[in-house]
A and B are shown apart, each in its own frame.
Chain A
Amino acid sequence: MHSAGLDHTLLALADPTRRAIIARLEAGEARVTDIAEPFSISLNSVSKHIKLLERADLVRRRKVGREHFLSFNAAPLDEAARWIEEKRAFWTSRLDALEQALLEDDAKRKRKRK
């Protein structure tokens, strides 16, 4: 079982442009206009990405007058990391079991042949 939060996190991260925006926020808080600065396009186009990051709570918005400051929030990554780790651990143990079974089978065959 997992929450809708995980869906939002993975969807938000499943896009190189949004990951670049997260990388930009590693340098510190930025305004929407700072994110848009190198691209001569409407803020709306940039905001679509930011809204998906906000829905996942990976980005938080602070308003000071008309300025909106964005910052990165790492907390949702914990749930995503936990999910990945659980699946990794589960499949690692299954594969270990498979390897063990194959080794035992191999040993049996060798004994029979003797």
Chain B
Amino acid sequence: MSDHGQRIDKMSIRFERLLPGPIERVWAYLTEPEKRAEWFAGGVTEMKTGGRAEFIFNHSALTTPDDKPPKKFEAFNKEMRFEGEVLEVDPPRLLVWGGDDGDDYIETRFELESRGDKVLLTLTETKLSSPSRVIGNAAGWHAHLELLSAKLAGEKPAPFWATHARLGEEYEARWGAA
């Protein structure tokens, strides 16, 4: 299993992570605001199709004060709130969120499957609108998943922004101008 995301088609990416279980614990990290805020974004997820999916990002809280964001993200290195939609939910196995922007109907799908005392997380993001979005979101999800893996394993995560920048270059090298 590679840590790097796979490009399953031109506009879709997939990540797999074998995480410490049990499955309910990983599910809580996907759906409970305080737990999800530790690795991605807080916010309430309504557990029904068509429900509200709130995302409260605070990137500065994900890392140490000396790990600075790139200049272009500086204005956003504080609390930023967004809202999406729950497309499918089946606890504790499946959560899909997304939303339609005319040009961009992104779907983010989390699937969980017990593997002994571990849990296989499969994250698939489809219908990204441009090659730059594919690279940007791959770097973003990879960096967030590094935090999730570290949290669940009880390890200290690497600095978020430094990891994000390194991954951005790696995905650009793999998929850029392709």
Spell out A's residues near B (CB within 8 Å): 15-17, 20-21, 23-24, 26-27, 32-34, 36-49, 66
Contacts and interface: CB of A to CB of B under 8 A. Distances in A.
24 contacts: A16-B81, A17-B79, A20-B76, A21-B75, A32-B101, A38-B59, A38-B140, A39-B55, A40-B108, A40-B144, A41-B99, A42-B84, A42-B97, A42-B98, A42-B99, A42-B101, A43-B129, A44-B84, A44-B99, A44-B101, A44-B106, A45-B99, A46-B82, A48-B83
Contacts of A23: 75
B15 to A, nearest CB: 11
Interface centre among A33, A34, A66 (most CB of B within 10 A): A33
Give the 5 A-B CB pairs with smallest separation, nearest first.
Answer: A44-B99, A45-B82, A42-B106, A40-B140, A42-B99
A17 B81 contact: yes
A49 B76 CA distance: 14
Interface residues of B, number: 37
B84 A24 contact: no
Interface centre among A15, A45, A47 (most CB of B within 10 A): A45
B141 A40 contact: yes
A24 B104 contact: no
A69 to B, nearest CB: 14
Interface stretch (B21-29, B113-121, B131-139): B131-139
Contacts of B81: 15-17
A17 B82 contact: yes
Give the dominant DSSP class at A's interface: helix
B75 A20 contact: yes
A40 B99 contact: no
Contacts of B125: 40
Nearest to A33: B133
Contacts of B100: 42, 44
Given A44-B101, A44-B106, A66-B103, A39 B75 contact: no
A41 B72 contact: no
B82 A39 contact: yes
Nearest to B59: A38
